[in-house]
């Protein structure tokens, strides 16, 4: 099983659709995820477990073509960006209705965008993480952490045309309109169920009836119920869906946190699809007649080097470290099949990827020479790695740490390991306090945009890297601000070359493909690099 | 008797206060706070600072504790960071699940454990006795997590006899009244629910009940052996009383006194086992809440759970003492 096979499987699934073999239309499809959804209002969420049910109930203006990160029409059939990048005109699909029977139209789109921009209370604003990320700020920022708003307004020029105005061009748009967070809700339902009410309750927040009991979108499945005690969401087919209707009558999404338990559920036939099977189980599952769909890798794992440490401020030392790591070996032995050594800090499929960026071949002698030249032969470094966590780009942090630490020791660098629980101090120590010298971290992309990777990491000063090069920040900002697609691509290619060759604030390690597994009688699942799987075309026989 | 109960109850209050403050302060001293948990992977230092201010997390610890206790008295434990549901609602859902499981496990342990221990004692040194002693050793030693995983692999995955997880088959219509599914099924006469939830209970109950079972067997055996050697048993035998009368009146009545204490203590310890059992069997009870709470650093939920666990432990101990007092009048007099 390789990524190649999975990708071609995905392609077959595409062509099989609609050629019969649609399975049992009364079937219930059961999916096991690894965590409970937070709530069902797209705008207040930022995690995959909440998005899994939301993606089946809601639609965005633009979506990702199945199995890729390419844009394709969804609720908008067409979109046009003005030359200065400050106006986006959406032509909307006709004949679409929300689950509550009200019409989807340009006014509904503007109602949603206005709602996001005008959201009140610090509680609500703090939970609109993707909105704030893309649109900068709100009509009135309730806390000082708010940024400059990008949104200037929305006008429904006729029922099928919505014109969005921005204060300046932003490279992330229009691709960011594929973000599940920016799904379109029914204005009537938003009003009826007081969607904007986010209340503080002790140290946390509670959400309105809209977010918990009445999510209302336009998607192929409708909300039926949520059993909060075991995290089971039940959705039913939307018989009035504008497009091809769902192949199964009911979709049940269960929460099964433990990975071995998910595997047992699939093997016993209690569930049809499980997410994130462990890489070492892929072959075993396939030998028992299950299908393992490997998602194309849309992530990156890197090892950061904190330049707050004066020794690491020296480029030669960072280059020495890059040469010291045997990444080929690491990828082969510690990462799932299909994983690749990373050359850039973003995946190949994105515009702006530079295939000719400096590679740092495994060369311990060169590493030693560079360290000696920099007068850093007796280097001791605090190497932070997380515990109690497994991320798609980093299935087993300790194994990865061990491999890299051995390589570094081999060139004479003394490594002091510091293990911290992911939610219990790792992110705080590394991303806020910058207590480390070296650390492991990574990222799964949100949408098809280079800034979402390199800008997120290196677009500004961060405690994580101690990287302070103003020229680099300006270079990244200039690429993001360039409205011309070809020019932007060229600028990002240069950014990627320089990040690895000139600045090297971190060592790009790998891209790893996460998987999703299904029972043998399940057809039509297309694994998505963005984990943006849609279950409407999936059939069960 | 009533004065005894009241005195014991009042004695519990300061214990709970001190315990809750210590645990609250300890939780707060751990790295990674609610703000970074709420903001997820995209948190920036500025946003975390702003949220800390919004939530009042930069107040002194006693101010935060005071607010917390104030809310607890109105039944408000705050909302969970992981699920954003009120923690009180989560507890209301999870408590019956755990009690149902613990009850089934304890029932399994008692119904099987007392006769096994008794028979083992009666046939001391024989094959049955030796086999039982060895089995109980194994029972105590096998980790709950491993046992659950193996049972599930055999009976649910390989043989397909029992469901692998959950409390009831997904999609089965059921009316919930008390939250105890078996009881609810009986009350509403939904016999399919009763049958289905009983089937779901078997594997987790055996998993959770194995250690208490082993402990009960051993204690019963030891205690019955002691009693069998007592003069009054020999006297009874000499008087020619029927074997059944001797067993029920003399041996069991006296032999079970230490066993009841053990059962109480085991009931208190069940929560620890439930954390693992519930995780393996996706049970959706207090144990699952606790496990998820620790993993996600869900402070509001952990605070409430620890408080409830402490209260439960204290209460169970109280009940044990009271039952002791009922069985043995001498305790009351003292």
Q: Supply the ipTM of this predicted assembly.
A: 0.81
Using CA atoms, how far residue A319 sits from A150, A195, A450, A504, B108, in Å, is 38, 51, 24, 7, 64
Contacts of B134 (CB under 8 A, 6+ apart): none
Query: What DSSP state is assigned to residue A394?
Result: B
A13, pLDDT greater than 60: no
How many contacts does A have with B, using Cβ atoms within 8 A?
A: 178
Residue (of B268, B271, B276, B232) closest to B251 by Cα position? B232
Q: Decide if A39 and B90 are in contact by the 8 Å CB cutoff.
A: no
Q: How far apart are CA B120 and CA B134, in angstroms?
A: 12
Helical ranges in chain B per DSSP H: 2-29, 34-39, 45-55, 61-73, 87-122, 127-141, 144-151, 181-188, 191-228, 231-239, 243-245, 253-280, 286-295, 299-327, 329-333
Q: Please list the residues that pair with A515 across neighbouring strands.
A: A294
The beta-carbon neighbor of B50 closest among A144, A205, A256 is: A144
Other CB atoms within 10 Å distance of the CB of residue A459: 17
Question: Are the C-beta atoms of residues A393 and A334 closer than 8 Å to each other?
Answer: no
Other CB atoms within 10 Å distance of the CB of residue B241: 15
Q: Decide if B30 and A424 are in contact by the 8 Å CB cutoff.
A: yes
Question: Which of B57, B84, B181 has the most A C-beta neighbours within 10 Å, making it the best mutation to test the interface with A?
Answer: B84
For residue range B20-58, list pLDDT tens digits in order. Answer: 888 888 888 877 778 877 887 777 778 888 888 888 888
Smallest CA–CA distance from A127 into chain B, residue: B39
Q: Tell me how close the Cα of A424 comes to any Cα of chain B, in angstroms.
A: 5
Residues 465-524 of A with CB under 8 A from B: none
A361, pLDDT greater than 90: yes
CA neighbours closer than 13 Å in the CB half-sphere of residue A479: 26
Smallest CA–CA distance from B94 into chain A, residue: A229
Q: Which residues of A touch B53 (CB under 8 A)?
A: 143
pLDDT band (50, 70, 90) for residue B152: very high
Phi, psi dihedrals of residue A456, rounded to the nearest 5°: -60, -40
Q: Tokens representing A48? A: 């995959």
Q: Which residues of A touch B299 (CB under 8 A)?
A: 203
Q: Which residues of A touch B27 (CB under 8 A)?
A: none
Smallest CA–CA distance from A207 into chain B, residue: B84
Q: Tell me how close the Cα of A368 comes to any Cα of chain B, in angstroms.
A: 36
pLDDT band (50, 70, 90) for residue A4: very low
Q: Decide if A202 and B79 are in contact by the 8 Å CB cutoff.
A: yes
Q: Please list the residues that pair with A233 across neighbouring strands.
A: A226, A253
Q: How far apart are CA A195 and CA A192, in angstroms?
A: 8
Question: Are the C-beta atoms of residues A221 and A236 closer than 8 Å to each other?
Answer: yes
pLDDT band (50, 70, 90) for residue A58: very high
Smallest CA–CA distance from B53 into chain A, residue: A143
Mean pLDDT, chain A, integer: 92
Q: Which residues of B touch A258 (CB under 8 A)?
A: 279-280, 282
Other CB atoms within 10 Å distance of the CB of residue B159: 10
Q: Which residues of B touch A250 (CB under 8 A)?
A: 171
Interface membership of A287 toward B (CB under 8 Å): no
Q: Decide if A36 and B83 are in contact by the 8 Å CB cutoff.
A: yes
Mean pLDDT of A240-254: 96
Q: How many residues does chain A have?
A: 541
A19, pLDDT greater than 90: no
Q: How far apart are CA B190 and CA B200, in angstroms?
A: 16
For residue range A67-110, list pLDDT tens digits in order. Answer: 998 999 999 999 999 999 999 999 999 999 999 999 999 999 99
B118, pLDDT greater than 60: yes
Query: What DSSP state is assigned to residue A180?
Result: G
Interface membership of A28 toward B (CB under 8 Å): yes
* Higher-confidence position of B13 and A459: A459
pTM of the model: 0.87
Q: Decide if B78 and A202 are in contact by the 8 Å CB cutoff.
A: yes
Residue (of A538, A539, A534) closest to A72 by Cα position? A534
Interface membership of A254 toward B (CB under 8 Å): yes
Q: How far apart are CA B151 and CA A107, in angstroms?
A: 57
Q: Which residues of B touch A256 (CB under 8 A)?
A: 165, 282
Smallest CA–CA distance from A446 into chain B, residue: B42
The beta-carbon neighbor of A205 closest among B77, B79, B297 is: B79
Other CB atoms within 10 Å distance of the CB of residue A246: 27
For residue range A296-329, list pLDDT tens digits in order. Answer: 899 999 999 999 999 999 999 999 999 999 999 9
pLDDT over 70 for what percent of chain A? 96
Smallest CA–CA distance from B162 into chain A, residue: A268
For residue range B249-270, list pLDDT tens digits in order. Answer: 778 878 888 888 788 778 777 8
| Lowest mean pLDDT, pick from A12-21, A97-106, A200-209, B103-112 | A12-21
Interface membership of A289 toward B (CB under 8 Å): no
Q: How far apart are CA A241 and CA B44, in angstroms?
A: 39
Question: Which of A40, A145, A203, A457 has the most B C-beta neighbours within 10 Å, making it the best mutation to test the interface with B?
Answer: A203
- Tracing tokens 């609610």 back to the chain, one arrives at B34
Using CA atoms, how far residue A474 sits from A458, A459, A483, A534, in Å, is 10, 8, 16, 38
CA neighbours closer than 13 Å in the CB half-sphere of residue B68: 28
The beta-carbon neighbor of A270 closest among B68, B149, B164 is: B164
Q: Tell me how close the Cα of A230 comes to any Cα of chain B, in angstroms.
A: 5
Other CB atoms within 10 Å distance of the CB of residue A275: 22
Q: What is the C-alpha end-to-end distance of chain B, expressed in Å?
A: 11
């Amino acid at each position: 099983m390789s990524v190649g096979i999975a990708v071609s499987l995905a392609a077959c699934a595409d062509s099989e659709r609609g050629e019969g073999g649609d399975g049992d239309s009364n079937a219930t499809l059961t999916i096991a995820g690894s965590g409970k959804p937070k709530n069902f209002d797209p705008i207040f969420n930022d995690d995959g477990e909440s998005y899994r049910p939301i993606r089946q109930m809601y639609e965005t203006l633009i979506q990702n073509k199945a199995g890729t990160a390419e844009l394709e029409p969804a609720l908008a059939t067409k979109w046009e960006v003005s030359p200065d990048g400050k106006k986006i005109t959406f032509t909307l699909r006709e004949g679409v209705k929300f689950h509550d029977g009200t019409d989807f139209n340009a006014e509904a789109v503007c109602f949603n965008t206005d709602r996001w921009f005008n959201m009140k209370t610090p509680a609500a604003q703090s939970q609109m993480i993707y909105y704030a990320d893309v649109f900068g700020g709100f009509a009135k920022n309730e806390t000082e952490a708010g940024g400059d708003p990008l949104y200037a307004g929305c006008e429904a020029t006729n029922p099928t045309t919505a014109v969005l105005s921005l204060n300046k061009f932003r490279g992330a748009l229009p691709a960011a309109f594929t973000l599940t967070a920016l799904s379109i809700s029914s204005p009537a339902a938003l009003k009826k169920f007081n969607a904007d009410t986010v209340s503080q309750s002790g140290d946390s927040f509670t959400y309105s009836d809209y977010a918990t009991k009445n999510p209302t979108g336009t998607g192929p499945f409708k909300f039926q119920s949520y059993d909060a005690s075991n995290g089971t969401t039940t959705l039913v087919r939307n018989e009035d869906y504008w497009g091809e209707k769902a192949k199964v009558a009911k979709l049940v999404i269960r929460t099964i946190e433990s990975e071995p338990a998910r595997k047992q559920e699939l093997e016993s036939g209690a569930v049809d699809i499980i997410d994130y099977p462990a890489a070492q189980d892929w072959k075993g599952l396939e030998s028992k007649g299950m299908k393992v769909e490997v998602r194309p890798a849309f992530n990156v794992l890197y090892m950061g080097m904190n330049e707050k440490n004066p020794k690491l401020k020296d480029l030669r030392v960072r280059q020495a470290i890059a040469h010291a790591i045997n990444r080929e070996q690491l990828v082969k032995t510690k990462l799932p099949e299909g994983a690749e050594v990373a050359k850039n800090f973003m995946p190949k499929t994105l515009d702006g990827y530079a295939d000719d960026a400096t590679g740092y071949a495994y060369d311990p002698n060169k590493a030693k020479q560079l360290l000696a030249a920099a007068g850093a032969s007796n280097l001791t470094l605090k190497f932070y790695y997380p515990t109690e966590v497994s991320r798609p780009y980093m299935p087993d942090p300790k194994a990865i740490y061990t491999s890299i630490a051995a390589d570094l020791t081999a060139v004479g660098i003394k490594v002091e390991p510091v293990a911290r629980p992911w939610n219990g101090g790792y992110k705080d120590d590394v991303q806020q306090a910058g207590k480390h010298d070296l650390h492991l971290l990574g990222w799964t992309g949100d949408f098809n945009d280079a800034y979402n990777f390199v800008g997120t990491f290196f677009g500004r000063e961060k405690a994580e890297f101690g990287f302070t090069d103003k020229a680099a920040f300006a270079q990244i900002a200039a690429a993001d601000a360039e409205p011309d697609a070809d020019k932007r691509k060229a600028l990002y290619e240069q950014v990627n070359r320089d990040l690895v060759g000139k600045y090297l604030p971190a060592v790009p390690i790998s891209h790893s493909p996460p998987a999703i597994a299904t029972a043998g009688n399940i057809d039509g699942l297309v694994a998505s690099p963005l984990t943006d799987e849609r279950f409407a075309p999936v059939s069960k026989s | 008797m009533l004065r005894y109960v009241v005195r014991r109850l009042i004695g519990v209050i300061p214990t709970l206060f001190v315990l809750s403050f210590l645990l609250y302060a300890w939780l707060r001293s751990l790295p990674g706070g609610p703000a970074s948990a709420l903001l997820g992977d995209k948190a920036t230092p500025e946003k975390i600072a702003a949220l800390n201010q919004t939530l009042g997390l930069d107040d002194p610890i006693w101010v935060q504790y005071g607010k917390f206790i104030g809310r607890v008295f109105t039944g408000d434990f705050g909302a969970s960071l992981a699920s954003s549901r009120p923690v009180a609602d989560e507890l209301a859902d999870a408590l019956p699940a755990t009690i149902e499981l613990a009850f089934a496990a304890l029932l399994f342990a008692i119904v099987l454990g007392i006769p096994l221990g008794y028979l083992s004692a009666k046939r001391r040194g024989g094959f049955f006795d030796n086999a039982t002693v060895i089995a109980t050793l194994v029972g105590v030693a096998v980790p709950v997590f491993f046992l659950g995983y193996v049972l599930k692999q055999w009976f649910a995955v390989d043989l397909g006899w029992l469901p692998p997880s959950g409390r009831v088959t997904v999609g089965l219509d059921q009316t919930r009244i008390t939250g105890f599914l078996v009881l609810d099924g009986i009350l509403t006469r939904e016999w399919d629910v009763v049958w289905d939830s009983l089937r779901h209970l078997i594997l987790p109950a055996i998993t959770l009940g194995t250690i208490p079972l082993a402990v009960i067997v051993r204690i019963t055996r030891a205690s019955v052996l002691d009693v069998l050697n007592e003069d009054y048993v020999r006297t009874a035998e000499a008087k020619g009383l029927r074997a059944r009368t001797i067993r029920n009146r003399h041996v069991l009545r006296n032999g079970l006194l230490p066993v009841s204490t053990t059962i109480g203590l085991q009931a208190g310890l069940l929560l620890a086992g439930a954390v693992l059992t519930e995780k393996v069997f996706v049970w959706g009870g207090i144990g699952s809440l606790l496990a998820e709470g620790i993993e996600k650093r869900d402070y509001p939920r952990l605070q409430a759970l620890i408080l409830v666990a402490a209260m439960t432990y204290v209460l169970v101990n109280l009940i044990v003492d009271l039952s002791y007092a009922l069985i043995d009048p001498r305790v009351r007099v003292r």
